[in-house]
Amino acid sequence: MTILYEPERRNAQQLGMLFGSDLHTVATAQELAAALGRRPDELLVLFGPGAEITEVAAFVAEQRVARPALGVLLLCASVDVTVLGEAMRAGVREVVDAADIGAVRTACARSLALSQQLAGASAASTGSADGRVVTVFAAKGGCGKTTMAVNLAVALADGGRRRVCVVDLDLAFGDVAIMLQLAPQRTVADAIPMTGGAHSAGRVDETALRSLVTPYCPGVDALLAPTRPTDGDHVTRGLVSDLLAIARRLYDFVVVDTPPQFTDHVLAALDASDQYVLLATPDLPALKNLRITLDMFNLLDYPAAQRLVVLNRADAKVGLTGADIDRVISAPITAHIPSSRDVPVSINRGVPLLVDSPNHPASKAIRSLANSRIASPQQQGGGRGLRGLFSRRKGGASAPQASGPGASASGAPQTAEPSPEQPGALPHGPAYPHTGVSRQRGEIR
Q: Which is nearer to ligand ATP, 358 or 430 (CB)?
A: 358
Residue 445 to residue 441: CA distance in whole angstroms: 10
User: SS in 3 state form for 113-139?
Assistant: HHHHHHHHHHHHHCCCCCCEEEEEECC
How many residues of this chain interact with ligand ATP, rule: CB under 6 A? Answer: 20
Question: Per-residue b/e over 243-273, b at no fewer than 16 CB within 10 Å?
Answer: bbbbbbebbbbbbbbbbbbbbbbbbbbbbbb
The residues, ordered by sequence, that sit 6+ positions from 225 with a Cβ below 8 Å of its Cβ are: 168, 169, 170, 171, 172, 173, 174, 176, 177, 184, 187, 188, 232
Q: In this structure, are strands 2-5 and 44-47 parallel, antiparallel, or unpaired?
A: parallel
Count of helices and strands (H, E) across the chain: 19, 13
Stretch that binds ligand ATP, among 104-112, 335-343, 403-411, 428-436 (CB under 6 A): 335-343
Q: Per CB under 6 A, which of residues 125..164 are in contact with ligand ATP?
A: 138, 141-147
Shortest Cβ 347–Mg ion spacing (Å): 10
At residue 309, φ and ψ (nearest 5 deg) are: -85, 125
Q: Which does 295 bind (CB under 5 to 8 A by kind): Mg ion, ligand ATP, none?
A: none
Query: Shortest Cβ contact with Mg ion: which residue?
Result: 146
Site membership for ligand ATP, residue 347 (CB under 6 A): yes
Q: Residue count at the site for Mg ion (CB under 5 A)?
A: 3
- Examine residue 261 and tell whether it contacts Mg ion (CB under 5 A): no
Q: Which is nearer to ligand ATP, 107 or 362 (CB)?
A: 362
- For ligand ATP, the closer of residues 195 and 293 by Cβ is 293
Question: If we measure between CA atoms, which residue out of 57, 27, 24, 56 comes closest to residue 42?
Answer: 24
Task: Tell the smallest beta-carbon distance from residue 285 to Mg ion (Å).
Answer: 17
Q: Choose, by CB under 6 A, the member of 94, 170, 295, 417 that binds ligand ATP.
A: 170
Choose among Mg ion, ligand ATP, none what residue 220 binds, the Cβ cut-off being 5 to 8 Å by kind: none
Length of the chain counted residue by residue: 445
Pick between residue 357 and residue 414 the one whose CB is nearest to ligand ATP.
Answer: 357
C-alpha to C-alpha distances, 153 to 238, 371, 382, nearest whole angstrom: 24, 11, 20
What's the rounded Cα separation, in Å, for the pair 95 and 74? 5
Cβ(92)–Cβ(71) under 8 Å?
no
CB of 61 to ligand ATP, least distance (A): 28
Which one of 137-145, 161-169, 370-378, 432-440 is the stretch in contact with Mg ion (CB under 5 A)? 137-145
> Are residues 316 and 282 in contact, defined by beta-carbon separation less than 8 angstroms?
yes
Is residue 172 involved in binding Mg ion (CB under 5 A)?
no
Interacting residues with ligand ATP between 175 and 214 (CB under 6 A)? 175
List 11, 111, 146, 346, residue binding Mg ion (CB under 5 A): 146
C-alpha span between 288 and 329 (Å, rounded): 7
CB 439, min distance to ligand ATP, A: 25
Smallest separation (angstroms) from Mg ion to the CB of 156 = 18
CB 254 within 8 A of CB 215: no
Task: Select from 337, 354, 370, 399 the one that contacts ligand ATP (CB under 6 A).
Answer: 337
Work out what residue 312 binds among Mg ion, ligand ATP, none; the CB cut-off runs from 5 to 8 Å by kind: ligand ATP
Q: Looking at residues 68 to 97 of the shown chain, list those that interact with ligand ATP (rule: CB under 6 A).
A: none
Residues 351-410 that bind ligand ATP (CB under 6 A): 362
Stretch that binds ligand ATP, among 20-28, 202-210, 265-273, 332-340 (CB under 6 A): 332-340
With 0-12 / 13-18 / 19 or more C-beta atoms within 10 angstroms meaning exposed / middle / buried, residue 422 is: exposed
Q: How many CB atoms lie within 10 A of CB 106?
A: 13
Question: Which residue, 352 or 427, is less far from ligand ATP as judged by CB?
Answer: 352
Q: Which of 175, 283, 356, 443 binds Mg ion (CB under 5 A)?
A: 175
Other Cβ atoms within 10 Å of 201 Cβ, number: 7
Picked from Mg ion, ligand ATP, none, the partner binding residue 141 (CB below 5 to 8 A depending on kind) is ligand ATP
370 contacts: CB under 8 Å, gap ≥ 6: 152, 155, 156
Applying CB under 6 A, which part among 107-115, 293-301, 337-345, 433-441 lies near ligand ATP?
337-345
Q: Which of residues 279-318 bind ligand ATP (CB under 6 A)?
A: 312-313
Summarize as ranges the residues that interact with ligand ATP (CB under 6 A): 138, 141-147, 170, 175, 260, 312-313, 337, 339-340, 343-344, 347, 362
Summarize as ranges the residues that interact with Mg ion (CB under 5 A): 145-146, 175
